[in-house]
Amino acid sequence: MGGVVAGRLTATPGTSVRHCGRHSGTARRPSGGREPDGRVGRSAPLSTLSTVGRLVVIEGLDGAGKRTLTDALTAALAEVGASVATLAFPRYGVSVHADLVREALHGAHGDLGDSVYGMGLLYALDRRGAADEIRALRAGHDVLLLDRYVASNAAYQAARLRQGADSEVVRWVRDLEIERFGLPVPDAHLLLRVAPEVAAARARGRAESDATRARDAFESDDGLQARCAAVYDELAAANWLSPWHVVDGADRVDAAALAADLLGTRLP
């Protein structure tokens, strides 16, 4: 997927911040919303945005192009004067829980990788450890973009159990991460939708060109990826946790228009 790669100033490991000189800090949320035909409204002046930044989650299959979209949106938002921070999950190399996940997905720790709830708990603990950082980044910027969040846990664990978005494991993820751990609820989700076979081909190509990004047990399971795509569609249809907006990841995404939508919409 095409996109603009943004230069970023590293704040903490796994976190990046993009600033623009025309705007430094906070703004108030716009009063605009959806147009009568249901389209997302365009951007309002930054002076009308909220003092609490918008928490936007990018979700999708492994190989969908989430990192590329994150970079493109970061650049587009900064271009119109918004202060942007990004954070990606799992936080490999930063969180011990994330590192245990990666090791289990590559065959370590006995049968840990086979445990749906065990792996789900590790993913959740990684995010719990980042909760204060998420709140601080959200408070200090107009937009905080997260590459994966709670919905990833829900989608993948449900797919592993061959269940849907209305399943017990999805309710368990929500109860654990949102209710018990108190993780911030997103303002919006962007589902970067691509065909599972396209995402798989991209993941294979990425692994072949970068020895540090070898495919793990989840990425190598084409059936799991296809089931996960179906669960993502169900979560989006249900507006799980917050409004979902589906982005076609098969072609180049218009990051400037998407950035305008994010800045110009009053999200619940």
Residue with tokens 């945005």: 49
Domain parsing of the chain, residue ranges: 10-91+123-264
CB 15 within 8 A of CB 86: yes
Q: pTM of this prediction?
A: 0.77
pLDDT tens digits for range 166-219: 999 999 999 999 999 999 999 999 999 998 888 778 667 766 666 666 666 777
What CA–CA distance (Å, rounded) separates 193 from 210?
24
pLDDT at 111: 96
- Residues 21, 22, 26, 32: what is their CA dihedral angle, to the nearest 10 degrees? -140
| The CATH number fitting domain 10-91+123-264, selected from 3.90.550.10, 3.10.20.30, 3.40.50.720, 3.40.50.300 | 3.40.50.300
pLDDT at 144: 97
Mean pLDDT by 10 residues, the chain (268 residues): 30 43 32 32 37 90 91 94 96 97 95 97 98 97 97 98 98 98 97 86 68 68 92 98 91 88 61
pLDDT at 41: 31
pLDDT at 215: 65
